[in-house]
């Protein structure tokens, strides 16, 4: 289980002045949808070897994707080398990973019980077998019972009563205390027992020092962790010779920490092999006119949203004020302005739990409609006169500033002063969002095939000691009804009924003005033309072993 990630909005590539200068005179062709965004090819037909350089906006400090201090990009980096029970396609359909499990079955009757039969060949990179104990200790670490483990989320794991041994060491039996609908997402990414059976190793064992890796961490996948350089923000994944599945085509998969504004230049100069252009028209124009690149539009997996902060003392702790402010925001206009020229189908989003491409999507604009007249009246009734709201955004993020300028104009019409407050990008989450130092902000929230992934983002929970347990609910806003709906959603094993409850939860998110979806972020991948099996896959999982270069490249 990986919780939803909150990502810097990063819709633009370079600062606007620089990009427009760089693209001056270049034609821009609006991308059209593609039936083959990955440029799919049989991996066996691809050239053996080659390096693929993959930029990440924010290079992680902690490579434990289950730990609270994970970066939004931690999962991208460790996914090629850690076990996952199921692989999702771009529409969220799931297929069992045979390399790791020969069978995963939901047993009939009560209590809810799932049996995992581990592939006899499955092992960790140090040669030890993957056993039931690895699943047992991941449950123990993420259950929330031991507060020494600083976890990103307890969703799903806290509903498990016991993880025990099956017929032998290679079978785990998971018994639930309460029904949990999205049980298929659990134990992925799976970390080894040696990480999860020690709180100190769980919290700090995947923080790699400046001296590089003295002892490579234990992994399991087609790739393992290779050379690492914290100062350069660089980590390489190299083929694991002990991998028993299909061998990867690449010699190495290199992740580079590179600010979004620097990526288009690096792509032009041949220093990286792909960039997600998102909604940047100038970056798209540059990429379209750079030799050797393909533009590969594909399904999105993120929703760009406005997020309120309702912590004690914040002006937006007032639910009535939040609703009034939201009614002064025209999402259709924002979507048309920001993504109209770079999206095949620009449209505002009116659901935070489901993407439009997902089964179950419901349009809930009526729960929080654009109505500036009502907004002015509601603010007056609440006694507000020209309320001042801090809009905190990362510095050097032009689209955040662009959204701020649009919002300033809109909210001025309802007598709200929006103050745009740029902060250093490296401190945006750590020093502001994570601690509730904002009134309003914007970032992208990552969706997944599992609706229950929304619980840590929109539920309001407390620890066993009664202290606030923020998880990914950075605005610290919630309601008892929303918690009840999220709990019901997580416990409903019937998929159709579960989707109905999830939509009721999304309507409640709108009713309390927790967050405001703006649009599904366009995913326009600029990729080296010779690269195959790589592109925008929506909520789907990348097959890293299949990525490679055409034989004539």
| pLDDT classification of 23: cutoffs 50, 70, 90 | very low
Tell me the pLDDT band of 497, cut-offs 50, 70 and 90.
very high
Range in 89-103, 238-252, 403-417 with the lowest mean pLDDT: 89-103
pLDDT tens-digit series, residues 67-124: 988 877 899 999 999 999 999 988 788 999 999 999 999 999 999 999 999 999 999 9
Q: How far apart are CA 474 and CA 438, in angstroms?
A: 10
- Position 409 pLDDT exceeds 60: yes
Does the pLDDT of residue 306 top 70, yes or no? yes
Coil, helix or strand at residue 336? helix
Residues 6+ apart with CB under 8 A from 46: 249, 532, 533, 548, 549, 550, 551
Strands 515-520, 523-528: pairing is unpaired
pLDDT of residue 15: 36
Q: What is d(CA 508, CA 488) in angstroms, rounded to the nearest whole number?
A: 14
- Tens digit of each residue's pLDDT (9 = 90 or more) over 353-405: 999 878 889 999 999 999 999 999 999 999 998 999 999 999 877 778 899 99
Which pLDDT score, from 0 to 100, does residue 25 have? 64
For residues 304 and 522, the answer to whether their CB atoms sit within 8 Å is no
Token duo for residue 384: 């507000």
Q: What percent of the chain has pLDDT over 90?
A: 72
Name the most confidently modeled range: 17-26, 296-305, 522-531.
522-531
CA distance 77 to 219: 12
In tens, the pLDDT along 424-479 reads 988 898 899 989 999 999 988 888 888 888 888 999 988 777 888 887 899 999 99
Taking Cα atoms as reference points, which of 485, 468, 456, 551 lies closest to residue 249? 551
- As a whole number of angstroms, the distance between CA 329 and CA 327 comes to 5
Alpha carbon 486 to chain centroid, angstroms: 19
The pLDDT of residue 9 is above 80:
no
pLDDT, position 360 = 86
Q: Is 313 exposed, middle or buried (0-12, 13-18, 19+ CB in 10 A)?
A: exposed
Q: Does the pLDDT of residue 2 top 50, yes or no?
A: no
Give the model's confidence band at 4: pLDDT under 50 very low, under 70 low, under 90 confident, else very high: low
Give me the helices (H) in 366-397, please: 372-382
Q: In this structure, are residues 102 and 160 in contact, taking their beta carbons and an 8 Å threshold?
A: no
Average of per-residue pLDDT across 168-182: 96
Q: Which ranges in 197-298 belong to alpha helices (H)?
A: 199-204, 260-268, 281-288
Evaluated on CA atoms 458, 463, 468, 472, the torsion sign reads: negative
SS3 state of residue 411: helix
**What's the chain's average pLDDT?**
91
Tell whether the model's pLDDT for residue 206 goes beyond 90. Answer: yes
* pLDDT in the model for residue 475: 94
In this prediction, residue 139 carries a pLDDT of 98
Q: 3-class DSSP state for residue 552?
A: coil
Nearest to 237 by CA among 257, 216, 258: 216
Tokens of 103: 């069978």
Q: Quote the pLDDT of residue 17.
A: 35
Closest CA to 342 of 11, 10, 4: 11
Give buried/exposed letters for 90-126 (b at 16+ CB in 10 A, else e): bebeeeebebbbbebeeeeeeebbbbbbbbeebbbbe
């Amino acid at each position: 289980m990986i919780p939803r990630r909150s990502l810097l909005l990063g819709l633009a590539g370079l600062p606007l002045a620089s990009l427009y200068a760089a693209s001056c005179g270049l034609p821009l062709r609006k991308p059209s949808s593609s039936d083959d965004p990955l440029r799919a090819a049989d991996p066996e037909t691809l050239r053996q070897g080659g390096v693929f350089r993959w930029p990440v906006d924010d290079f992680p400090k902690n490579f434990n994707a289950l730990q609270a201090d994970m970066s939004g990009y931690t999962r991208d980096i460790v996914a090629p080398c850690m076990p996952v029970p199921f692989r999702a396609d771009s529409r969220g359909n799931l297929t069992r990973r045979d390399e790791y499990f020969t069978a995963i079955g939901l047993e009939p009757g009560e209590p809810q019980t799932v049996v995992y039969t581990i592939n006899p060949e499955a092992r960790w990179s140090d040669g030890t077998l993957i056993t039931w104990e690895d699943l047992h200790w991941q449950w123990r670490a993420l259950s929330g019972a031991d507060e020494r483990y600083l976890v990103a989320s307890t969703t799903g794991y806290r509903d498990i009563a016991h993880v025990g041994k099956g017929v032998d060491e290679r079978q785990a039996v998971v018994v639930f205390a309460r029904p949990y609908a999205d049980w298929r997402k659990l134990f992925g990414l799976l970390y080894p027992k040696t990480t999860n059976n020690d709180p100190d190793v769980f919290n700090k064992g995947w923080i790699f020092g400046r001296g590089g890796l003295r002892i490579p961490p234990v992994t399991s996948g087609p790739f393992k962790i290779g050379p690492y350089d914290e100062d350069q923000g660089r980590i390489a994944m190299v083929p694991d010779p002990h991998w028993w599945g299909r061998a990867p085509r690449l010699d190495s998969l290199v992740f580079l920490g590179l600010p979004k504004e620097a990526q288009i230049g690096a792509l032009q100069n041949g220093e990286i092999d792909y960039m997600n252009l998102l909604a940047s028209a100038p970056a798209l124009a540059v990429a379209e006119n750079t030799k050797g690149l393909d533009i590969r539009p594909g399904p999105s997996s993120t929703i760009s949203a406005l997020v309120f902060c309702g912590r004690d003392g914040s002006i937006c702790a007032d639910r009535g004020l939040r609703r009034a402010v939201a009614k002064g925001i025209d999402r259709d206009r924002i979507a048309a302005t920001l993504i109209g020229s770079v999206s095949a189908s620009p449209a505002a989003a009116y659901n935070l739990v489901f993407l439009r491409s997902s089964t179950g999507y419901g349009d809930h604009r009526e729960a929080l409609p654009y109505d500036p007249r009502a907004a002015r009246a509601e603010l007056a009734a609440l006694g507000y006169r020209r309320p001042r709201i801090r809009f905190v955004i990362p510095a050097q993020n032009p689209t955040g500033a662009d959204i701020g300028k649009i919002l300033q104009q809109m909210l001025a019409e309802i007598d709200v002063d929006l103050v745009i407050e740029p902060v250093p990008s490296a401190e945006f989450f750590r020093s502001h969002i994570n601690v509730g130092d904002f009134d309003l902000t914007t970032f992208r929230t990552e969706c997944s095939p599992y609706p229950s992934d929304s619980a840590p983002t929109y539920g309001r929970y407390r620890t066993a000691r009664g202290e606030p347990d923020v998880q990914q609910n950075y605005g610290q806003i919630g309601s008892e009804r929303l918690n009840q709906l999220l709990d019901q959603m997580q416990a409903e094993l019937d998929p159709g009924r579960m989707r109905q409850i999830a939509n009721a939860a999304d309507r409640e998110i709108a009713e309390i003005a927790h967050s405001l979806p703006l649009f599904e972020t366009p995913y326009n991948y600029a990729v080296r033309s010779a690269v195959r099996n790589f592109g925008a896959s929506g909520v789907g999982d990348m097959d890293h072993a299949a990525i490679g270069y055409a034989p004539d490249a």
